[in-house]
Amino acid sequence: MMSKSDSQLQKDVLAELSDEPSVRASDIGVEVKDGIVTLAGHVDSYAEKWHAEKAAQRVDGIKGVAVEIDVKLPGENQRTDADIARAVKNTLEWNVFIPNDPIKVMVEDGWVTLTGEVPWEYQRRLATSSIRYLAGVIGVSNQIVLKPKPTTTAVKANIEAALKRRALQDANAIKVDVHDHNVTLSGKAHNFAEKELIHQAAWNSPGVWKVADNIKI
């Protein structure tokens, strides 16, 4: 398949931004060089900046996205760092899926930094997505880490339990390699649904940060 030219990629990114309802495309400039997209301009919220980045990443053929978008909050959305910190803590406390006690919040000039430890990757991601739309937030740094580190035995047990619940194949057909928080799956599944089940079971193991799925059907 022939790769797209930079000019075609630029047109595709602009079109994707125009189709994204959360983004005012007229506020964002797009440049492309050697397949790398640079987004620049000013937006009214961190959420809009995030959606613009995700829209660009959806375009087929790009090699990377550099975001040089500034968040300039309208007067009614400007808040003190103390107000933002309280809003972030309240939001995390209201979310029953996030263990908020281990999570520390620091706010400097509207930029929120989250630190602490949680057992699950989805909790780490949810902490960011939960505060993305708060008024006054211009950016989020998620420095939350996962604890404990996963073990091959624990990931394998999760996969075996998931397959057993569905009365599917024995997990011995699947090889699991664990390095730090990263899991690599290999082997063979009977069909796509089984492959997805195994992939999700690995993700659902405590401490897993990334899953490389090399399972064949």
Instruction: Give the CATH number for residue 183.
Output: 3.30.300.130
Do 116 and 82 lie in one domain? The reply is: yes
The verdict on 81 and 67 lying in the same domain is no
User: Which amino acid, 23?
Assistant: V
Chosen domain end from 84, 119, 146: 146
> Last residue of some domain: 106, 121, 146?
146
pLDDT band at 167 (very low <50, low <70, confident <90, very high): low
89 found inside a domain: yes
Nearest CA-CA partner of 180 in 216, 197, 155, 215 = 155
Q: What's the mean per-residue pLDDT of the chain? A: 86
Query: Residue 1's pLDDT is what?
Result: 55
Give the residue numbers spanning the domain of 27. 6-72
- Residue bearing the bigger pLDDT, 145 or 217: 145
Count of domains observed in the chain: 3
Q: What letter does residue 114 receive in the DSSP assignment?
A: E
Cis peptide, bond prior to residue 21, ω within 30 of zero: no
- Per-residue confidence (pLDDT) for residue 121, from 0 to 100: 81
pTM over 0.85: no
Dihedral of the alpha carbons of 145, 85, 132, 26, in degrees to the nearest 10: -130
Instruction: Specify whether 52 is located in the same domain as 81.
Output: no
Which one of 72, 93, 127 terminates a domain? 72
Is the pLDDT at 44 greater than 70? The verdict is yes
Backbone angles phi, psi at 97, to 5 degrees: -90, -5
Please indicate, yes or no, if residue 1 is contained in any of the structural domains.
no
Rounded to whole angstroms, the Cα distance separating 90 from 178 reads 36
pLDDT on residue 170: 64
50 vs 48: CA distance, rounded Å: 5
